[in-house]
Protein backbone atom coordinates (compact mmCIF):
# COMPACT_ATOMS: atom_id res chain seq x y z
CA UNK A 1 0.00 0.00 0.00
CA UNK A 2 1.22 3.40 -0.99
CA UNK A 3 1.73 6.18 1.55
CA UNK A 4 -1.14 8.53 0.64
CA UNK A 5 0.04 11.44 2.70
CA UNK A 6 3.42 11.38 1.00
CA UNK A 7 1.81 10.99 -2.41
CA UNK A 8 -0.26 14.13 -1.80
CA UNK A 9 2.90 15.98 -0.75
CA UNK A 10 4.57 15.02 -4.02
CA UNK A 11 1.51 16.03 -6.00
CA UNK A 12 1.42 19.44 -4.33
CA UNK A 13 5.11 20.02 -4.98
CA UNK A 14 4.78 18.97 -8.63
CA UNK A 15 1.88 21.35 -9.19
CA UNK A 16 3.78 24.18 -7.55
CA UNK A 17 6.71 23.49 -9.89
CA UNK A 18 4.38 23.51 -12.92
CA UNK A 19 5.12 19.91 -13.80
CA UNK A 20 2.26 18.74 -16.02
CA UNK A 21 1.11 15.80 -13.92
CA UNK A 22 -2.01 13.84 -14.76
CA UNK A 23 -5.24 15.69 -13.99
CA UNK A 24 -7.62 14.31 -11.38
CA UNK A 25 -10.50 13.56 -13.75
CA UNK A 26 -8.15 11.84 -16.21
CA UNK A 27 -6.78 9.67 -13.43
CA UNK A 28 -10.31 8.84 -12.26
CA UNK A 29 -11.30 7.76 -15.76
CA UNK A 30 -8.27 5.45 -16.00
CA UNK A 31 -8.95 4.03 -12.54
CA UNK A 32 -12.52 3.34 -13.58
CA UNK A 33 -11.42 1.53 -16.76
CA UNK A 34 -8.91 -0.70 -14.98
CA UNK A 35 -10.82 -1.46 -11.79
CA UNK A 36 -12.48 -4.65 -13.01
CA UNK A 37 -9.36 -6.05 -14.62
CA UNK A 38 -6.21 -5.01 -12.76
CA UNK A 39 -3.23 -4.96 -15.13
CA UNK A 40 -0.08 -6.91 -14.53
CA UNK A 41 2.28 -4.81 -16.61
CA UNK A 42 2.03 -1.14 -17.43
CA UNK A 43 4.26 0.86 -19.74
CA UNK A 44 4.36 4.60 -19.24
CA UNK A 45 5.98 7.02 -21.69
CA UNK A 46 6.80 10.26 -19.81
CA UNK A 47 7.50 9.80 -16.09
CA UNK A 48 8.22 13.38 -15.01
CA UNK A 49 8.56 13.05 -11.21
CA UNK A 50 6.64 9.79 -11.09
CA UNK A 51 3.27 11.03 -9.89
CA UNK A 52 1.08 9.14 -12.40
CA UNK A 53 3.24 6.01 -12.11
CA UNK A 54 2.77 6.02 -8.34
CA UNK A 55 -0.98 6.38 -8.78
CA UNK A 56 -1.04 3.54 -11.33
CA UNK A 57 0.96 1.29 -9.01
CA UNK A 58 -2.16 1.03 -6.87
CA UNK A 59 -4.12 -0.39 -9.78
CA UNK A 60 -1.73 -3.28 -10.44
CA UNK A 61 -2.17 -6.94 -9.65
CA UNK A 62 -0.16 -7.85 -6.56
CA UNK A 63 2.79 -9.13 -8.62
CA UNK A 64 2.46 -6.43 -11.28
CA UNK A 65 4.95 -3.78 -12.26
CA UNK A 66 5.43 -0.61 -14.25
CA UNK A 67 8.11 0.35 -16.74
CA UNK A 68 8.33 4.08 -17.28
CA UNK A 69 10.54 6.25 -19.50
CA UNK A 70 11.87 9.77 -18.86
CA UNK A 71 14.58 11.66 -20.71
CA UNK A 72 15.33 14.50 -18.28
CA UNK A 73 17.90 13.22 -15.78
CA UNK A 74 16.86 15.63 -13.00
CA UNK A 75 13.31 14.35 -13.21
CA UNK A 76 14.55 10.76 -13.26
CA UNK A 77 16.44 11.36 -10.02
CA UNK A 78 13.45 13.02 -8.39
CA UNK A 79 11.14 10.23 -9.53
CA UNK A 80 13.47 7.59 -8.09
CA UNK A 81 13.53 9.39 -4.74
CA UNK A 82 9.76 9.72 -4.82
CA UNK A 83 9.31 6.00 -5.49
CA UNK A 84 11.41 5.19 -2.43
CA UNK A 85 9.63 7.85 -0.37
CA UNK A 86 6.19 6.32 -0.96
CA UNK A 87 7.48 2.73 -0.94
CA UNK A 88 6.88 1.64 -4.55
CA UNK A 89 10.49 1.33 -5.70
CA UNK A 90 10.12 -2.43 -6.20
CA UNK A 91 7.14 -2.03 -8.51
CA UNK A 92 8.37 0.68 -10.84
CA UNK A 93 11.37 0.54 -13.14
CA UNK A 94 12.46 3.78 -14.73
CA UNK A 95 14.36 3.92 -18.01
CA UNK A 96 16.37 7.07 -18.47
CA UNK A 97 16.59 8.34 -22.02
CA UNK A 98 14.60 9.30 -25.07
CA UNK A 99 11.58 7.08 -25.53
CA UNK A 100 12.13 7.23 -29.28
CA UNK A 101 15.36 5.31 -28.74
CA UNK A 102 14.32 3.16 -25.79
CA UNK A 103 10.95 1.87 -27.00
CA UNK A 104 12.29 -0.09 -30.00
CA UNK A 105 14.65 -1.95 -27.63
CA UNK A 106 11.85 -3.18 -25.34
CA UNK A 107 10.55 -6.69 -25.90
CA UNK A 108 7.87 -6.95 -23.24
CA UNK A 109 4.13 -7.39 -23.40
CA UNK A 110 2.04 -4.79 -21.58
CA UNK A 111 -1.60 -4.78 -20.54
CA UNK A 112 -1.69 -1.01 -20.38
CA UNK A 113 0.33 1.67 -22.17
CA UNK A 114 0.06 5.25 -20.97
CA UNK A 115 1.37 7.79 -23.48
CA UNK A 116 2.21 11.14 -21.88
CA UNK A 117 5.35 12.59 -23.49
CA UNK A 118 6.41 14.60 -26.57
CA UNK A 119 3.23 15.28 -28.54
CA UNK A 120 5.10 15.36 -31.83
CA UNK A 121 5.96 11.69 -31.31
CA UNK A 122 2.49 10.36 -30.52
CA UNK A 123 2.04 8.44 -33.81
CA UNK A 124 5.39 6.75 -33.24
CA UNK A 125 4.45 5.96 -29.64
CA UNK A 126 1.16 4.45 -30.84
CA UNK A 127 2.96 2.08 -33.20
CA UNK A 128 5.38 1.03 -30.48
CA UNK A 129 2.51 0.57 -28.02
CA UNK A 130 0.66 -1.65 -30.49
CA UNK A 131 3.77 -3.74 -31.03
CA UNK A 132 3.91 -4.57 -27.30
CA UNK A 133 0.24 -4.52 -26.32
CA UNK A 134 -1.31 -7.71 -24.96
CA UNK A 135 -4.31 -9.08 -26.93
CA UNK A 136 -6.80 -7.50 -24.52
CA UNK A 137 -4.62 -4.52 -23.74
CA UNK A 138 -5.57 -0.88 -23.54
CA UNK A 139 -3.75 2.29 -24.58
CA UNK A 140 -4.37 5.66 -22.94
CA UNK A 141 -3.00 8.82 -24.55
CA UNK A 142 -3.08 11.94 -22.40
CA UNK A 143 -3.30 15.54 -23.66
CA UNK A 144 -4.81 14.30 -26.90
CA UNK A 145 -6.94 17.45 -27.32
CA UNK A 146 -4.13 19.81 -26.27
CA UNK A 147 -6.01 22.76 -24.81
CA UNK A 148 -8.59 22.47 -27.54
CA UNK A 149 -6.14 23.22 -30.38
CA UNK A 150 -6.58 19.75 -31.86
CA UNK A 151 -10.29 20.20 -32.56
CA UNK A 152 -10.11 23.84 -33.66
CA UNK A 153 -8.92 25.22 -36.99
CA UNK A 154 -6.12 26.90 -35.17
CA UNK A 155 -2.90 25.99 -36.93
CA UNK A 156 -0.66 29.01 -36.97
CA UNK A 157 0.55 28.30 -33.51
CA UNK A 158 4.15 27.50 -32.72
CA UNK A 159 2.84 24.16 -31.49
CA UNK A 160 1.46 23.23 -34.89
CA UNK A 161 3.77 20.23 -35.24
CA UNK A 162 2.40 18.88 -31.99
CA UNK A 163 -1.17 19.54 -33.12
CA UNK A 164 -0.58 17.86 -36.49
CA UNK A 165 0.83 14.78 -34.78
CA UNK A 166 -1.97 14.57 -32.24
CA UNK A 167 -4.46 14.71 -35.11
CA UNK A 168 -2.48 11.99 -36.86
CA UNK A 169 -2.66 9.88 -33.69
CA UNK A 170 -6.44 10.27 -33.52
CA UNK A 171 -6.77 9.38 -37.19
CA UNK A 172 -4.61 6.27 -36.88
CA UNK A 173 -6.22 5.12 -33.66
CA UNK A 174 -9.78 5.57 -34.92
CA UNK A 175 -9.18 4.17 -38.43
CA UNK A 176 -7.19 1.13 -37.33
CA UNK A 177 -9.62 -1.80 -37.83
CA UNK A 178 -8.05 -3.65 -34.90
CA UNK A 179 -8.86 -0.89 -32.43
CA UNK A 180 -11.85 0.60 -30.76
CA UNK A 181 -11.00 4.17 -29.84
CA UNK A 182 -12.79 6.77 -27.77
CA UNK A 183 -11.73 10.39 -27.37
CA UNK A 184 -12.83 11.85 -24.05
CA UNK A 185 -12.85 15.47 -23.00
CA UNK A 186 -11.61 14.77 -19.49
CA UNK A 187 -8.59 16.78 -18.41
CA UNK A 188 -6.62 17.86 -21.47
CA UNK A 189 -8.22 15.13 -23.55
CA UNK A 190 -7.77 11.38 -23.20
CA UNK A 191 -7.74 8.83 -26.01
CA UNK A 192 -8.61 5.29 -25.00
CA UNK A 193 -7.93 2.48 -27.47
CA UNK A 194 -8.73 -1.16 -26.94
CA UNK A 195 -8.07 -4.05 -29.23
CA UNK A 196 -11.32 -5.31 -30.69
CA UNK A 197 -12.36 -8.80 -29.83
CA UNK A 198 -12.48 -10.36 -33.33
Q: Which of 80, 91, 121, 167 binds ligand SAH (CB under 6 A)?
A: 121
Site string for ligand SAH, 47-86 (x = CB under 6 A): -x--xx----------------xxxx--x-----------
Please report whether residue 142 would count as binding Mg ion according to CB under 5 A. yes
Please report whether residue 70 would count as binding Mg ion according to CB under 5 A. no
DSSP string of 122-157, one letter each residue: HHHHHHHHHHHEEEEEEEEEETTTGGGGGGSS---S
Residue nearer to ligand SAH on the CB measure, 5 or 175: 5
Strand partners, 115: 45, 141
- Please tell me the distance from the alpha carbon of residue 38 to that of residue 30, in angstroms, as a whole number: 11
Q: Which does 110 bind (CB under 5 to 8 A by kind): ligand SAH, Mg ion, none?
A: none
Q: Which does 48 bind (CB under 5 to 8 A by kind): ligand SAH, Mg ion, none?
A: ligand SAH
Q: Which of 2, 100, 109, 184 binds ligand SAH (CB under 6 A)?
A: 100
- Using the 8-state DSSP alphabet, how is residue 59 labeled? T
| Whether 30 contacts 101, CB under 8 Å | no
Amino acid sequence: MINQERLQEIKKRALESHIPIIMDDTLEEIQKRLKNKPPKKILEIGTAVGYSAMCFSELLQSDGYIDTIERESERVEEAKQNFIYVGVQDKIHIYEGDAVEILPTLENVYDVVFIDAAKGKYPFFLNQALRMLSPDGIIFADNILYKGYVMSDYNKHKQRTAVRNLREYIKEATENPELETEILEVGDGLAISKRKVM
